[in-house]
Homo-oligomer: A and B are copies of this chain.
Amino acid sequence: MSTAEETGGDAQPWGEVTPDAARRLLVAAVEAFAERGYHATTTRDIAGRAGMSPAALYIHYKTKEELLHRISRIGHEKALEILRTAGRREGCAADRLADAVGSFVRWHAGGRTTARVVQYELDSLGPDARAEILALRRQVDAEVRAIIEEGVAAGEFEVLDVHGTTLAVLSLCIDVARWFNVDGPYTPEEVGALYADLVLRMVGAKPAGPAQERSGAAHR
């Protein structure tokens, strides 16, 4: 799982962004976009948060949109990696689905700032960038659907509509980025556990499986 670098609730997919000034601008843009939305954010605001003059932005990025594009791609790649890691684990479909949902939700809750931009500012991208990101989304969808399909094939799950259920599971996880509040009553871990349980119910996972004691959902 993620190490103790969760400073400020955001995992850091930005560690690999170089040079240093470009990364500071990217992080500033993530914060600004998450707070106010892409269109309401000014390049002056982004540069200011990064402690630079407005013109400095254009040394590292061609346009404001390129910032969003880069954030979106890195974020989607990270999300996809999280789901792939869970999907490739050993174990029954129920365990893998619970793991996938749990870690996906923890990422959306803990890195809400990033996730919000990644999941909700897609429409602000131009057609080309948008198409590229949508391709990544289709891979995300495929990853979750594969687990559900395997569960159904193995007789572990009871699902009427695999496509629709996949959509609903992903929708549930993604929307965490909209409502989750760091100062609210839940920790990212609690939401992850709760959602893993809810999703297992949605797919009709047989409660009397080989591994009965699943990751405990918090009583409340």
Structural contact, A123 and B37, CB atoms closer than 8 A: yes
CB-based contact A194/B37 at 8 Å: no
- Residue A22, interface by CB 8 Å: no
Q: Closest B residue to A205 by CB, please name it.
A: B201
Asked if residues A219 and B160 are in contact (CB atoms below 8 Å), the reply is yes
Q: How many copies does the complex hold?
A: 2
Closest residue of B by beta carbon distance from A195: B168
In contact, B197 and A160 (Cβ under 8 angstroms): yes
Which of A123, A162, A171: most chain B CB closer than 10 A? A171
The answer, yes or no, to whether A163 is at the interface (CB within 8 Å) is yes
Q: List 7 A-B contacts (CB under 8 A).
A: A120-B120, A160-B217, A164-B191, A198-B202, A201-B202, A201-B204, A202-B202
State whether the Cβ of A218 lies closer than 8 Å to any Cβ in chain B.
yes
In the bound complex, residues from chain B placing their C-beta under 8 Å from that of A123 are 36-37
List which A194-220 residues lie within 8 A (CB) of chain B.
194-195, 197-198, 201-202, 204, 217-220
